[in-house]
Each structure stands twice: as C-alpha cells, then as structure tokens.
C-alpha cells in the first residue's frame, strides 16, 4: 500500500475533533490562541517555526487537526519501529532517511502528485538547536510539486499560532528564502537564543 493510500487519523473526523478539542483545550488553558483562517489551497507545504522546544510538536498536532486536510509530517526512519512506528504512521508520519536528501524530496513530490488533498508539515530548521541555516528540503518539495508554502508562526510571547499568506516559490531559493523568513521577524520562540528563523540561505 502506498503512503497516499494509507489510512491515517485524518480519515476519521470524529477522532480529529477529539484531538483538536483535547490538545487545543490544554493550550487554551495556558493562554494560547489559535487563529482559524483556512488557506484556500488544498495542497501545500506548511513550515512551522521557530522550532526550539518539544512543545512545538504538540502545537503542530493542533494545527494539523484543525486544517481539515490530509496532514503529513516527516521524521527520521529510525524511530518508525514497532508500535511507535505504527502510531506515527497513523498520525500521518512519513519515514525518511536523513542522509538521502534527494530521495526524500522526490518521495514527497511524488506523494503530492498522487493526491488532491494534502498538507506536509515541516520544521525547516530540522532540529530544536540553533543552526547556521535552514534545511532547503521544504522549498525543493514545494517547488517540485508546484504547491505553495505557508508559514505557521509559533509566537510564545503573544501565545498565538497563526498562518501567513500562501507563498508560491519561483524556483530561486536564494531570492525566495528571505521573503519566506520575513514571516517570522516579529515572532518570539520559546527559547529565543536558539531561534534560527533568520538564517543564511541553505546550500542544498
């Protein structure tokens, strides 16, 4: 069975509603607000930043549950083992080999082409630690699949999760990346000293 045919939690609206209510309710109790604007595109790459804390993953869960789309996320293949692997796949996880950049880009581009309803959620830093540059995979996937990029902003100072307007990649990463990163210029990470939202252009 291909990844696009695999059943995930996104195929069960009632379960999504439960997840959105449970996890979203917990964050609401902590003062978080989620802006509900819905992108018009049915397929897009969503980048989530700044990524400096494990809490970001749970915010991403709420975002994914609220989108009303087939949400997917990538994780290193080494954690897709046993019951945990089955759970991650059911949640929309796609296993990738970190060392094979071109293979996972092509895999995700093909996955977009196989479906008419999909959101791929990616943390462009690739790690919670501060990095010198963003990973370029998210951009190459969006450009190769012909889908827009939407920046999801996790602002810990304002306790808000919001979405920037759709950005359509031109194919010129060095030109587009500063404009994409500008969506995060006024966003505060949980650990600002680790924020990589204004990194240099990646080489890949």
Q: For residue 97, what are the contacts with CB-CB under 8 A and spacing of at least 6?
A: 76, 77, 103, 104
> Kind and range of the H or E element at 154?
strand 149-155
Residue 134's SS3 state is coil
Q: β-strands 149-155, 160-163: how paired?
A: antiparallel
Predicted confidence at residue 201, as pLDDT, reads 46
Q: Is the pTM of this model over 0.85?
A: no
Cβ atoms of 123 and 51 closer than 8 Å: yes
- What gap in Å lies between CA 64 and CA 66, rounded to an integer? 5
CA 156 to chain centre: 17
Is the peptide bond prior to 50 cis by the omega test (within 30 degrees of 0)? Answer: yes
Give the Cβ contact number of residue 17 at 10 Å: 12
Select from 145, 136, 126 the least CA-distant residue to 176. 136
Cβ atoms of 46 and 122 closer than 8 Å: yes
Residue 174's SS3 state is helix
pLDDT tens series, the chain, 204 aa: 566 667 777 778 788 778 777 777 777 787 888 776 778 888 999 998 776 566 666 667 677 767 777 888 877 777 788 888 888 888 888 877 666 555 788 888 998 998 888 899 888 775 555 555 777 889 999 999 999 999 988 888 888 888 899 999 999 999 999 999 898 888 877 766 665 555 544 545
Helices in the chain by DSSP H: which ranges? 13-29, 55-66, 82-90, 101-114, 137-145, 173-181
Residue 34's SS3 state is strand
| DSSP state, residue 133 | B
């Amino acid at each position: 069975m291909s990844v696009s045919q695999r059943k995930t939690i996104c195929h069960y609206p009632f379960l999504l509603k439960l997840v959105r209510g449970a996890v979203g309710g917990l964050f609401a109790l902590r003062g978080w607000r989620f802006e509900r604007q819905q992108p018009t595109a049915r397929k897009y790459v969503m980048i989530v930043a700044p990524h400096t804390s494990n809490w970001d993953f749970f915010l991403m869960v709420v975002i994914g549950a609220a989108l009303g789309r087939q949400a997917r996320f990538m994780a290193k293949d080494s954690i897709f083992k046993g019951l945990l692997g089955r759970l991650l796949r059911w949640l929309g996880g796609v296993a990738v080999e970190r060392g094979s950049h071109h293979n996972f880009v092509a895999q995700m581009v093909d996955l977009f082409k196989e479906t008419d309803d999909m959101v791929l959620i990616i943390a462009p830093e690739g790690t919670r630690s501060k990095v010198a540059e963003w990973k370029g995979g998210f951009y190459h996937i969006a450009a190769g699949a012909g889908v827009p990029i939407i920046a999801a902003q996790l602002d810990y100072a304002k306790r808000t999760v919001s979405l920037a307007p759709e950005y359509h990649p031109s194919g010129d990463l060095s030109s587009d990346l500063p404009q994409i990163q500008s969506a995060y210029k006024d966003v505060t990470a949980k650990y600002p000293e680790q924020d990589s939202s204004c990194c240099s252009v990646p080489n890949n």
